Amino acid sequence: MIKFQHQWIFYSLLTLVLSPLLLLPKGQIVYNFNLFEFPYFFNFFKYITYLGDGIFIPILLILFFFVSKKRKRNFKLISFIISCILMVIIVWSLKHLIFDDLSRPFNFFVSKPESWLINDFNLSFHKHKTFPSGHTATATIFGLYLMEFTQNKFKKYFIYLIILLVGASRIYLFQHFFIDVFIGFYVGFLSVSLSRIILLYYMKSKIKKYFIPNFQ
């Protein structure tokens, strides 16, 4: 059985600490924390945000095959695939079917400071479909499964930190609002939790089907 109680604790603390920020006006955080106001963080967040692109997922698949114990490999691998599918369905539905007309930060701020109009970062800004942050959801799934390969609590804390930094990078790079990132964390967490529940239910039904009749 995969132990993930620490993940529930982390997300409970995350809710407690970050949820009050949802009471702020929608654009206040991204207005004060972005690449135009703090350009010296640009290179750092530019590379951190790639962790939410999904390009590192093959690394995780390699770990499943070569590091995981054979007994747990299939459970982890199938759970991971289901998590990714659920996440894509949820994010795509919210972005393209329900909240498709929501503007991203660059379009949201009609009146912009002159410094924002000078783009020296060679960065394109998306205009619409802001909610939720797919990068944050992807990084969350990747991070939560990566934790399964270590029992070291400090390494787990470091992975949590990376997940948070990916979320922060989406705000800093002017791609998302705080609420997009906040919900992105939970889309990823919900996808992982649901995938495990689905698999455990399936395994339980299989056990009943093949073993219980033999004892009747």
57-61, 142-146, 176-180 — which one is most confidently predicted on average? 176-180
Handedness of CA 10, 140, 56, 65 (dihedral sign): positive
Tens of pLDDT, residues 156-212: 899 999 999 999 999 999 999 999 999 999 999 999 999 988 888 876 666 445 444
Tens of pLDDT, residues 86-132: 999 999 999 999 998 888 998 888 777 766 766 677 788 888 899 99
Top pLDDT among 168 and 77 is at: 168
Contacts of 130 (CB under 8 A, 6+ apart): 95, 99, 102, 103, 104, 105, 175, 176, 177, 180
* Integer angstrom CA distances of residue 24 from 167, 180, 193, 215: 18, 14, 29, 60
- Identify the burial level of 194 via C-beta atoms within 10 angstroms of its C-beta, where 0-12 means exposed, 13-18 middle and 19 or more buried: middle
Measured CA to CA, the distance from residue 172 to residue 38 in angstroms comes to 9
